């Protein structure tokens, strides 16, 4: 099942009611909102760290943005559902690529790799994504 079908299921939308092009736009819009909400969660998780460093909000935002997939991978690893090797296997990339992300050496991965890692994160944290999607639908005009 495609990622958009899972997302639609979580928000109570039947993907058969949309054209292929509309589904692509819907997926992009949902992906954008999910990433923004995840960044807010990570920012909250690292609030004390940022306070300790005494950095300004712009630098905080840059740190969250540049380390986003690093935080996602760390969260996947914290569930103990996957190892670095397992994440690499799922994403169909060499283990070194995932290691570069988690170590902070690659802060600008491809969109397709980011998407695969976020899909994997959704599979290990479905409750988080369900809450995010419901919040997005409730707070936005996305599906109205």
Say what the pLDDT of residue 76 is.
98
Say what the pLDDT of residue 1 is.
46
- For residues 38 and 13, which has the higher predicted lDDT (pLDDT)? 38
**Angle formed by the axes of helices 126-139 and 20-45, nearest 10°:** 110
Q: Determine the length of the chain.
A: 144
The CA distance from 140 to 137, in Å, is 5
Mean pLDDT of 113-139: 90
**Angle formed by the axes of helices 3-11 and 111-124, nearest 10°:** 50
Say what the pLDDT of residue 36 is.
93
What confidence tens digit (pLDDT) does each residue in 73-98 have?
999 999 999 999 999 999 999 999 99
Mean pLDDT of 14-38: 87
CA-closest candidate to residue 114, choices 45, 43, 35, 44: 35
pTM of the model: 0.83
By percentage, how much of the chain surpasses pLDDT 70?
92
Task: Label residues 36-74 b or e (16+ Cβ within 10 Å = b).
Answer: ebbeeebbeebeeebeeeeeeeeebeebbeebbbbbbbe
Mean pLDDT of 124-143: 81
Instruction: Say if residue 142's pLDDT is above 70.
Output: no
Helix (H) / strand (E) element for 25: namely helix 20-45
Please give the angle made by the CA atoms of 15, 136 and 20, to the nearest 5 degrees. Answer: 25
Say what the pLDDT of residue 82 is.
98
Which DSSP string corresponds to 81-133?
Answer: S--HHHHHHHHTS-HHHHHHHHHTS-SS--HHHHHHHHHHHHHH-HHHHHHHH
């Amino acid at each position: 099942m495609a990622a958009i079908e899972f997302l639609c299921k979580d928000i109570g939308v039947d993907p058969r009611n949309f054209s292929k092009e509309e589904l692509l736009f819907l997926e992009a819009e949902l992906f954008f909102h999910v990433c923004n909400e995840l960044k807010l969660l990570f920012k909250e998780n690292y609030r004390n760290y940022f306070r300790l460093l005494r950095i300004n909000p712009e630098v905080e935002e840059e740190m969250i943005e540049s380390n986003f997939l690093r935080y996602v991978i760390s969260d996947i690893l914290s569930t103990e559902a996957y190892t670095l090797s397992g994440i690499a296997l799922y994403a169909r990339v060499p283990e070194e690529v995932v290691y570069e992300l988690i170590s902070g050496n690659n802060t600008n991965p491809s969109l397709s790799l980011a998407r695969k890692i976020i899909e994997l994160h959704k599979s290990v944290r479905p409750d988080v994504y369900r809450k995010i999607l419901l919040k997005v639908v409730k707070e936005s005009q996305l599906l109205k």
